[in-house]
Amino acid sequence: MTNPLSAPQADTMIHRAASVPASPDDNTKELILALLQKLQAIAVCGEDERRELWITARRGSIEDFGDYEDALAVGDVESWKEFRELWLSEYPEPQKWYLLAAQSYEDTRYIFLDGELTFQIQPGQPGEYYLDWSELARWLLSAVDESINALKAGTYNAHVNAYLPYRKRVGKILRENYWDIFAGEKEAYLQDITPNEIKRFAELMDGQLASSPASRLPEMTAGLFFDCCRLGYEANCYKGAGDLTPRELYRAYADGRHDGLLDLDEQSAEAFDAWFHDKTIYGGHPWEVCRGGNSTHISLYPACDERGWWLSLAGSSHGRSVETIKFYLALSEHGLPVQLRDGRELEAMLNGRDYIGIVPEGVIPHYCDYLFSDEKMLSYMNLSWENTGTIVKAAFWYPLKEVRLAGD
């Protein structure tokens, strides 16, 4: 599965084409349409007539990678040795693998390379900027020809299974085994929680009901909510805890988009109830009590039913899981009815019994549930460049998707 274009050359062309994917000139478009026609030989494997094939490009020479004199002049490297090390760090394998995917939606055709939209074609309409990407398109045609021929010969899937780098695959590793490889990470992760807290948390998880706590609060006020937040801030030794008022702590550490929560009478249950149920108020983040990114904040949600009020705590990212657990312990120890989302999964993480999902290079290790549809995982990683072989042996690797010919 080799082809005449080297990986550095292909990567440069892919990057340029992907910057304006709707731009190919008529010649390039005809080649891409021919490519799409060839791919009709492959069975659909997803929505919008998605078809996928692995293709490869050779690593090529160091001259394909770049000009040493130019790299030296701009300060990217200080010696030929550094330049060679840079080349091999970016292209460590003799060949580079690319997942080519084609999809169609209404009258538009799409070509993706390793998840990056590279060509967007509307048959019958001229390209937007008329740029010549024909060399790249010809390489794709040649590479796809090779892969389809191998598929027809019955060798394609076996070859991919044998040689596709693990960095392109999906797997999982037991956190305990990961900690055996990187012992320092376990120590760093558990440095802010004691064995007694870990034991107490496990006991609480054994008794946590599936839907909501058994008990309720008779009412909720802004002041009570701020005080609940204070308990979590103090448990995690936030600066100012013990000196600032609960309201001041909330203002200091919550998201800031409070939707009027900070303006309520702190003692009035009626005011909180009316505000909480006001459907005209939306768009803020009043429950993001420990601000962070989309996946790295901690939220405390009040909830109510005919029996009264309770709290729901959420914060499952690995980097804030210990913080969330200590927040939960503080609320529980003060007798507050609180439900911890992903509680069992967090307990498993704390004890190294959960799995870390390993996602392919180029996939940001966040929001990767779609790659593990049958399992729930709270954290993901790309295959580390350190101790790679040890991780590969310790991990479980999911079977690769088999490519079939249309009609098989």
Q: Where are the domains of the chain?
A: 7-59+94-164, 180-350
The sheet carrying 171-174 orders its strands as: 380-382, 355-359, 171-174, 396-397
Q: Look up tokens 């690319």; give the residue.
A: 98
User: Which residues, 6 or more positions from 235, have their beta carbon under 8 angstroms from its beta carbon?
Assistant: 326, 327, 329, 330
Cα torsion 257, 260, 263, 266: sign = negative
pLDDT tens digits for 340-390? 999 999 999 999 999 999 999 989 998 899 999 889 999 999 999 999 999
**Beta strands per DSSP E along 30-115:** 51-58, 95-105, 108-113
Pairing of strands 108-113, 380-382: unpaired
Separation CA 223–CA 235 (nearest Å): 19
Question: Global pTM?
Answer: 0.88
Rg of the chain, C-alpha, whole Å: 27
Q: Is the pLDDT at 163 greater than 60, yes or no?
A: yes
Three-state secondary-structure class, residue 346: helix
Residue 407 pLDDT greater than 50, yes or no: yes
* Mean pLDDT score, 74-93: 94
Tokens of 73: 């002049």
pLDDT tier for residue 1 given thresholds of 50, 70 and 90: very low
* Token pair of 72 as six digits: 């030296």
The CA distance from 402 to 218, in Å, is: 57
Distance of CA 344 to the CA centre of its chain: 21
pLDDT given at position 2 = 45
Instruction: Output the CA torsion sign for 327, 332, 335, 337.
Output: positive
> Taking 80 as the threshold, does the pLDDT of residue 408 lie above it?
no
Alpha helices (H) in 40-79, listed in sequence order: 62-65, 68-73
Reference 90, options 367, 385, 397; nearest CA is 385
Q: What is the mean pLDDT of residues 268-283?
A: 93
Are the CB atoms for 240 and 252 separated by under 8 Å? yes
pLDDT at 127: 62
Confidence at residue 123, expressed as pLDDT on a 0 to 100 scale? 85
Task: Name the nearest CA neighbour of 290 among 259, 260, 329, 317.
Answer: 317
Is 335 a residue whose pLDDT tops 50? Answer: yes
pLDDT on residue 124: 78
Q: pLDDT tens, 288-314? A: 999 998 889 999 999 999 999 999 999
